[in-house]
Structure 1
Amino acid sequence: MASSPTVDRKLARNPVSLRLYKVLGTSFQDESTREAMDTLSELYAVPALDETIPGEYAGRARKNLRRDMEQKLAEGSRQFLAAFSEVDQKLDELQHHVAAMHASCDDAENQLKLTNDASAMLLDRAGSLSEARQQVESKKAVVTMFLSVFTLNEQEVEAMTSRDIPVGKRFFKAMDKTERIRTDCRLLMTGQAEPTRAGTEIMAATSSYLEQGYDKIMRWASYEFLQMRDTQIEVGEVMRETIRRLRKRPELLAQTLTPLSQTRQTTLMSSFITALTRGGPSGLPRPIELHAHDPLRYVGDMLAWVHQAIAHEREFLESLFDVKSDGRMVGSVRVLNRNDDEERMIQELMDQAITKLTVPLKVRVQQTIRSQESSIVSYKIANLLQYYLITMRRTIGEDALLSTILSELTDIAYKIFYDAVEAQGRALLRPTLDLDDTSLSPPLAILDHAQILREVMNVYESSLLGDENEVEKAAGFRRILDITVDPAVEMCTRGSEEKKRLRPRWDRDVYVLNCLSYLQSVLEPFPFTVEKRSALQDLVEEKVLQLTEDHYQNIMGDAGLAVISETCAKHDRSEPLSRVPATLPSQVQAALRAFSEWLSGLEVVQSPRLAQLTAQKLHIQIHQAALRRMAQAYEQICEEVRRPENRYEAAATLLGSERPFGQVNSLKLLFGLE
């Protein structure tokens, strides 16, 4: 229901309404208003729900607001005064306490002063003690460090001296420290006028420990060496280190290696006898003495076993001395440096190790050599010994016992071989040519002798190591060639003269050339025979000249030109050649006719006599040389006939009546000389 204007006006004049309007229009969002409201809400509690008159509590609050605020302020003031009264009381108590404290502080200051004086003295004393302690600690550190550097601890002393501690890393470490202590101590004592007591005591103590250490490793190594009874031995790192340390003391090392040398001698001797008589394990390889019927294999097997044993021994010694192998091939030269002590020691030990087995080796090889009758077998054995002699000299040295024995055996073998070959040569010089044999080929004795020589040369060539030069190769076989080829040559020449005297029709020159050519063919495949082949070639050329002259005279006689050619050569021109009886025109005509007939025969191409030469090249050489001289003789005859002072009538007609019609070039073409 809408209100009337009259009512609105009445309400507008009502104070309550005006107050409400004011209250409702007021904003309570500012901070001061909110704080005031919070204060009122704290001052007045929430009204009870059971109030009899609504708004009674709020009205009473508005009415008593001022009084309530004043009471509140008064209560707060009383509380403040009570609090300040308590504070004042406490301040009084504090003031009394402070006064008491001041009195106490004076006493404390006096005590503190006394204490400070005493403390200063204590601090000075403590500082002095601290400095002294630092000095003592520094000296202690220096002494401790000095003792750790220049003395051995209990464990290290025990490792050096106790037999219960084995030779090994711990022992070697202690030994290294001992040697280092001695070196450092020696350096510290250098330059001092007199050795210090500490240095002297350190050197004495370490010397004692070091001697005990060397004695320990000597006894240990000697015991280990006595156990090395196998042909193939593996050397441990501890043993190599032991030998390396003993090498600093050569006298101790030599003393230590004595048991090793004795053990290796016994071991190799026993192994060699076993290989000779029993063979290998389970009989393989078979015993060497089973092949005693085959001298070359018997000697070769023994030498091969010894060589293999030496190779194993060298590998063992190289491992023992920690020497790297140089990769040297078997038989190649081993060059020693001036300061190569390890190599010399290895060679000495190898030489000592095989000392005992050289006795049975020498006896057996010497018996085998002396029992041989065949010169080929003797030479093969001698050559085999020569090969191993060279190999051993290059492996263990020329002064080694085995090298000396092999040299003696080689000399014996070569002597037996040379004696056999010289006996064969003497047998060749006996009269052996059959007077009824008209053959011009080398005799059977020469063929057999040359076959032996060929086998010997094959053996020598196969035995060369490959590093010899041509001079060395030739020098090594020169004596053999001298005692084998020279008797054969002498047999051919001297025997042919004897047979020619008894059988004049027998062709000695062709026979000698055939023998010499055969010997040349035997020597030709081998380069180390070049000197002897050269000597034989000189003899061949000499015989070729003789046979060429003889053949020329024969064909000139057969062709009818001998007399005329000789007359033309000796003509002194005191009278015309046409007046000389041997060169009358009729004689010249007859000679030219005979020569023309000879040119139509087979002797122009091949001589029946020279056909018996076994060397075809000599046949051709001699025949062509003779034909060349015949052509020269014919040319001289033609020149003399044409010469006016010789007064041949119709000289051109005389020469042109028969072949070759005075044409020397045509004759040379016919002979095949141009």
Structure 2
Amino acid sequence: MDEYCAVRRQLLVRAFIDALTAGGRGGTPRPIELHAHDPLRYVGDMLAWLHQATPSEREALQSLLRDCRPAETPTRIDTALASVCEAVCRPLRARLEQVLLGSPGAVVLHKVSGLIQFYRSTIGQVVPDGPLPATLDELQALSQRAALQALQAQAARLCERVTPPAADLAPAAAVLSALSLLREALDGGGVVESRRAQVEQTAACLLEPLMAAVLESAAALPARDCAVYLLNCLYRLHSTLSLYEYMEPRLESLQAQLDAQLEALTSEQASSVVQSLGLTHIYAGLPSPPPGPLSQQPGLGEAAVGQFLQRLDVFLASPDMLTLPQLRLLASSAHRLTVQRRSAEVVGVIYEKLYTAVHEPSNGYAEPDKLMPRTPDQLKALLVV
């Protein structure tokens, strides 16, 4: 058996080298090394050749040992096959390390890592133990480290180019490039068993520095511009990550940040609407009115209430007239509608408090039904709250 394995080792490594350098008989298939300039094709062809060669070696051993005792045959076959396949480990390692050290780029390295992992799983079904599976494990770990390092370096270069937004408050070009890089890296593949870990590592390499760069670029913006810009960036991030599995924790974190920015923008929009409608003084006097009838207090008389209601009628006829200009720059129409709905709710709450106060006899408003004929429920229906 030792002599058989020694002969098969020589034949297998010679066949592998011939496939790399000379190709098949008559030049078909062509030499694998003709594609050395294309890392994915080069690595894929080498591993595919091994994937085809190893079952033939196992079948030959099964034929050789068919007359041996059945209880010993599987162990003998596995041991002999591991010995035979050891021959290709050195030339395979040398060429794959050359590819990995050639800096082909983060995305290519991720795809190469996925290829090695796939063929390690496939070849491992034929050659379960020995130097060849161990070599593939080491090469896969090396390729994964190289891919993550390349991704970190590329992400750092992109994040350095994240600049404050233009007038449209859209994500900067560097942010979009980083998201494109993330998509390509996550599309690199891999076997199911370790897909979660790969996705989490890849996302962490890029998202954490990207978010830090986005927040830094937004720090000097006015409050309204900052909220809209961050909403646009977070929306792009959320939309990208939602396409991939195992992203639930990061999506929850992004959603929390989206909700916080929506709350901040809603506060800005509601404050603007309240001020434009002349509700600021009315709202301030309602929670804790001074002694005496409310209608006798400055800014809370019937004339002030009437002016508010006139402005409110104009607002109801054309709600967009009081929309913040920045709100029109939101990338998501759902976000825009959310801010408008929540700010309308604020107006509805203040109106309800004012309506209750006006209809309270002790506040001294004459003919409250004529002054405020529209009920809070009617107003909410008009506001589409």
Q: TM-score, normalised by structure 2?
A: 0.91
Residue aligned with 2:188, SS? helix
**How far is 1:267 from its partner?**
0.9
Match of 2:228 among 469, 494, 510: 510
The question of 1:495 aligning with 2:226 is answered: no
Match of 2:150 among 420, 435, 448: 420
1:462-611 superposed matches below 5 A: 463-464=190-191, 468=193, 473-498=195-220, 500=221, 504=222, 507-568=225-286, 570-571=287-288, 574-603=291-320, 608-611=325-328
Unaligned runs of 5+ in 1: 1-256, 324-338, 656-660
Distance 1:343 1:539 in 2: 57
Distance 2:135 2:288 in 1: 76
- How many equivalent residue pairs? 383
**How far is 1:309 from its partner?**
1.1
Name the structure 2 match of 1:457: 186
Distance 2:282 2:223 in 1: 27
Name the structure 2 match of 1:284: 28
The question of 1:647 aligning with 2:376 is answered: no
Q: Percent identity?
A: 28
Question: Residue 93 of structure 2 contacts residue 135 of structure 2 at CA under 8 Å; is this kept in 1?
Answer: yes
Distance 2:33 2:98 in 1: 13
Name the structure 1 match of 2:7: 263
Question: Residue 605 of structure 1 contacts residue 671 of structure 1 at CA under 8 Å; is this kept in 2?
Answer: no
Question: Residue 159 of structure 2 contacts residue 175 of structure 2 at CA under 8 Å; is this kept in 1?
Answer: no
Question: Residue 268 of structure 1 contacts residue 354 of structure 1 at CA under 8 Å; is this kept in 2?
Answer: yes
**How far is 1:295 from its partner?**
1.1
Unaligned runs of 5+ in 2: none
RMSD of Structure 2 on Structure 1 (CA): 2.4
Question: Given residue 400 of structure 1, which amino acid in structure 2 is its aligned partner?
Answer: G
Distance 1:306 1:432 in 2: 45
Go from structure 1 to structure 2 and tell me whether the alpha carbon gap of 1:662 and 1:341 turns closer, same or farther (over 3 Å shift): farther
1:306-321 superposed matches below 5 A: 306-321=50-65
The question of 1:348 aligning with 2:348 is answered: no
Distance 2:25 2:232 in 1: 59
**How far is 1:434 from its partner?**
4.5
Go from structure 1 to structure 2 and tell me whether the alpha carbon gap of 1:412 and 1:375 turns closer, same or farther (over 3 Å shift): same
The question of 1:612 aligning with 2:349 is answered: no
Question: Residue 265 of structure 1 contacts residue 354 of structure 1 at CA under 8 Å; is this kept in 2?
Answer: yes
Go from structure 1 to structure 2 and tell me whether the alpha carbon gap of 1:293 and 1:373 turns closer, same or farther (over 3 Å shift): closer
Deviations 1:275-303 (A, max 9, x none): 11111111111111111111111111111
Question: Residue 514 of structure 1 contacts residue 614 of structure 1 at CA under 8 Å; is this kept in 2?
Answer: yes
Go from structure 1 to structure 2 and tell me whether the alpha carbon gap of 1:524 and 1:341 turns closer, same or farther (over 3 Å shift): farther
Q: TM-score, normalised by structure 1?
A: 0.54
Go from structure 1 to structure 2 and tell me whether the alpha carbon gap of 1:634 and 1:266 turns closer, same or farther (over 3 Å shift): same
1:114-513 superposed matches below 5 A: 257-322=1-66, 341-397=72-128, 399-430=129-160, 432-434=162-164, 437-460=166-189, 463-464=190-191, 468=193, 473-498=195-220, 500=221, 504=222, 507-513=225-231
Residue aligned with 2:86, SS? coil
Question: Given residue 425 of structure 1, which amino acid in structure 2 is its aligned partner?
Answer: A
Name the structure 2 match of 1:667: 379
Name the structure 2 match of 1:51: none
Question: Given residue 229 of structure 2, which amino acid in structure 1 is its aligned partner?
Answer: Y
Question: Residue 241 of structure 2 contacts residue 251 of structure 2 at CA under 8 Å; is this kept in 1?
Answer: yes
Go from structure 1 to structure 2 and tell me whether the alpha carbon gap of 1:663 and 1:455 turns closer, same or farther (over 3 Å shift): same
Higher gyration radius (CA): 1
Go from structure 1 to structure 2 and tell me whether the alpha carbon gap of 1:473 and 1:407 turns closer, same or farther (over 3 Å shift): closer
Question: Residue 224 of structure 2 contacts residue 326 of structure 2 at CA under 8 Å; is this kept in 1?
Answer: no
Distance 1:431 1:586 in 2: 56
Go from structure 1 to structure 2 and tell me whether the alpha carbon gap of 1:626 and 1:382 turns closer, same or farther (over 3 Å shift): same
Question: Residue 571 of structure 1 contacts residue 577 of structure 1 at CA under 8 Å; is this kept in 2?
Answer: no
Distance 1:419 1:563 in 2: 59
Name the structure 2 match of 1:94: none
**How far is 1:447 from its partner?**
1.0
Question: Given residue 306 of structure 1, which amino acid in structure 2 is its aligned partner?
Answer: L
Question: Residue 551 of structure 1 contacts residue 626 of structure 1 at CA under 8 Å; is this kept in 2?
Answer: yes
**How far is 1:574 from its partner?**
4.2
Greater displacement, 443-452 / 422-431: 422-431
Distance 2:261 2:224 in 1: 16
Match of 2:344 among 604, 608, 627: 627
Distance 2:331 2:135 in 1: 48
Deviations 1:173-197 (A, max 9, x none): xxxxxxxxxxxxxxxxxxxxxxxxx
Name the structure 2 match of 1:636: 353
Deviations 1:301-324 (A, max 9, x none): 11111121112112222333339x
Question: Given residue 28 of structure 2, which amino acid in structure 1 is its aligned partner?
Answer: L
Distance 1:350 1:627 in 2: 74
Residue aligned with 1:618, SS? helix
Question: Residue 428 of structure 1 contacts residue 487 of structure 1 at CA under 8 Å; is this kept in 2?
Answer: no
Deviations 1:594-638 (A, max 9, x none): 222222224279664322111111111221122122212211111
Go from structure 1 to structure 2 and tell me whether the alpha carbon gap of 1:369 and 1:643 turns closer, same or farther (over 3 Å shift): same
Question: Residue 100 of structure 2 contacts residue 109 of structure 2 at CA under 8 Å; is this kept in 1?
Answer: yes
Go from structure 1 to structure 2 and tell me whether the alpha carbon gap of 1:516 and 1:662 turns closer, same or farther (over 3 Å shift): same
**How far is 1:448 from its partner?**
0.9
Question: Given residue 642 of structure 1, which amino acid in structure 2 is its aligned partner?
Answer: H
Deviations 1:192-248 (A, max 9, x none): xxxxxxxxxxxxxxxxxxxxxxxxxxxxxxxxxxxxxxxxxxxxxxxxxxxxxxxxx
Residue aligned with 2:168, SS? coil
Q: Which protein, 1 or 2, shows the higher relative CO under an 8 Å CA cutoff with sep ≥ 6?
A: 2
Residue aligned with 2:299, SS? helix
Go from structure 1 to structure 2 and tell me whether the alpha carbon gap of 1:266 and 1:448 turns closer, same or farther (over 3 Å shift): same
**How far is 1:363 from its partner?**
0.5
**How far is 1:668 from its partner?**
1.9
Distance 2:145 2:44 in 1: 19
Distance 1:671 1:567 in 2: 24
Deviations 1:15-60 (A, max 9, x none): xxxxxxxxxxxxxxxxxxxxxxxxxxxxxxxxxxxxxxxxxxxxxx
Go from structure 1 to structure 2 and tell me whether the alpha carbon gap of 1:431 and 1:475 turns closer, same or farther (over 3 Å shift): closer
